[in-house]
Amino acid sequence: MSIPVDLSTTLGNAWFPSPIFTASGCASSGKELAQFFPLKDIGAVVTKSVMSKPRHGRPTPRMAETPSGMLNSIGLQGPGIDAFLANDVPWLLEQKARVIVSIAGETIEEYSTLARKLRSVSGISAVEVNISCPNVENRGLVFACDPDASRRVIDGVRKTIGGELPIIAKLSPDVTDLPAIARGVVDAGADALALINTVLGMVINLDTMKPHLGGKTGGLSGPAIRPVAVRAIYQVHAALPQIPILGMGGVSSGRDALELILAGASGISVGTASFGNPSALITIQNELRELLAARGFATMQQAVGYAHRDESP
């Protein structure tokens, strides 16, 4: 039975038939999940954040399971932008997937360099500017923890890339005043915001009695952080109701996706849930459609931010 709910969404000028996307860093470049469902059936593939040069990432162990969550400490391992654009993007476009390329840099200049390379690539829907990866050597390099650095990164990308391709700034919840950082990157030219990146955490191994992860700290993801995501999305949507939010953080069912949408998300990225369930994105998309229909929404867009409806402006 098909339920007549319009799931389509937009982020800036990019249109997607469904709000359910992969989360950057949790789907590699799509090939692995393509074994389990056609990538064109979901809203978009957000690729793993790519840097200008190939990168090994952090030492193992890179993973620790925690109650209803996990810590990862990958450290942006990847092929570098040139190999990525030569191999991965053409393959994704062949699959008729909509592609959001996520970029990460160590310096403000590196983001601009990456943006320059993307400018000439046709067929991609948007660029996610990941300024909030927690797994870098120096926490001072987490641009999203610094309002000024955040603005300068986005400003550089906007100026390099021109006005066409939507920019999604990916922010960290590990800050004191998230709406202020959000406002800064929007003023600098971000069309949309991705909320939230993982939350910085640590596990100590009781056998070695030392930090378990090779990189000591890691990013916490999974259902354990979902309330943090709902709070962050709710706060930012209240402050900037016109700015679309790509929401993520522990979504593993249609119910979770709807919760983030009600808080203010226009799109939903599914990350850690795919680790435990390779077909999670399709299940979540189907469940979301039914939940929206059951609540009388004819379109997904009508539900965006619906939790805010009785609040005084």
Partner 1 sequence: MSTINRHAVQQQVVIVGNKRVGAYHQILLNVGDLVKFCKPGNFVAIAVGGDSSRMILRRAFAISRVSENSQYGGTMELIVAPHGSGSKWLCSQVEGTEIDIVAPLGTAFGIPTEPINALLIGGGYGSAPLFGLADVLKSRGCKVDMLLGASVGSKIYAPMEGKRSVNSLRIYTEDGSMGETGRVTESLLDIISQRAIDVIYSCGPMAMLSAITSLVAETDVIHQCAVEESMACGIGICMTCVLPVKNADGSTSMLRSCIDGPVMDGSDVRWDLVGKVPEVAP
Please, which residues have CB within 8 angstroms of residue 142's CB and are 6 or more apart in sequence?
131, 132, 133, 134, 136, 172, 174
Which listed range, 51-59, 120-128, 136-144, 234-242, lies at the site for partner 1 (CB under 8 A)?
51-59
Interface characters, 63-102, with partner 1 (x: CB under 8 A): x-x-xxxx-x-x--x-------------------------
Rg (CA), the chain: 18
Stretch (H or E) spanning 230? helix 226-239
**Position 32 contacts partner 1 (CB under 8 A):** yes
What does DSSP assign to residue 244?
-
Token pair belonging to 33: 């999940």
Residue 78 forms beta bridges with which residues? 55
Q: Does 133 participate in catalysis according to the annotation?
A: yes
Binding residues for partner 1, total number by CB under 8 A = 42
Work out which of 43, 274, 281, 289 binds partner 1, going by CB under 8 A: 274
Is 295 a binder of partner 1 (CB under 8 A)? no
Tokens 């001072």, located at residue: 140
34 binds partner 1 (CB under 8 A): yes
By DSSP bridging, strand 45-46 and strand 99-103 are parallel
List beta partners, residue 201. Answer: 218
- Give SS3 for 193: strand
Asked if residue 53 binds partner 1 (CB under 8 A), the reply is: yes
Nearest to 179 by CA among 264, 249, 240: 240
Report residue 99 as tokens.
């592609």
User: Distance between CA 124 and CA 92 in Å, rounded?
Assistant: 10
Minimum gap (Å) between residue 175 Cβ and partner 1 = 26
Please report how close the Cβ of residue 270 comes to partner 1 at its closest, in angstroms: 11
**11 contacts partner 1 (rule: CB under 8 A):** no
Q: Is 61 in the site for partner 1 (CB under 8 A)?
A: yes
CB-based contacts of 190, cutoff 8 Å, min separation 6 = 129, 154, 158, 167, 168, 169, 243
Residue 126: its H or E element: strand 126-130
Part of the chain binding partner 1 (CB under 8 A), chosen from 9-17, 48-56, 179-187, 299-307: 48-56
The 235-254 contact track toward partner 1, x by CB under 8 A, reads: -----------------x--
The verdict on 172 binding partner 1 (CB under 8 A) reads no
59 lies in the binding site for partner 1 (CB under 8 A): yes
* 33 counts as binding partner 1 under rule CB under 8 A: yes
The one catalytic residue among 85, 133, 161, 190:
133
**CA pair distance 313, 304, nearest whole angstrom:** 16
C-beta of 278: minimal distance to partner 1 in Å? Answer: 6
Which residues are catalytic, by number? 133
Where does this chain bind partner 1 (CB under 8 A)?
A: 25-28, 31-36, 48, 53-63, 65, 67-70, 72, 74, 77, 214, 222-223, 252, 272-279
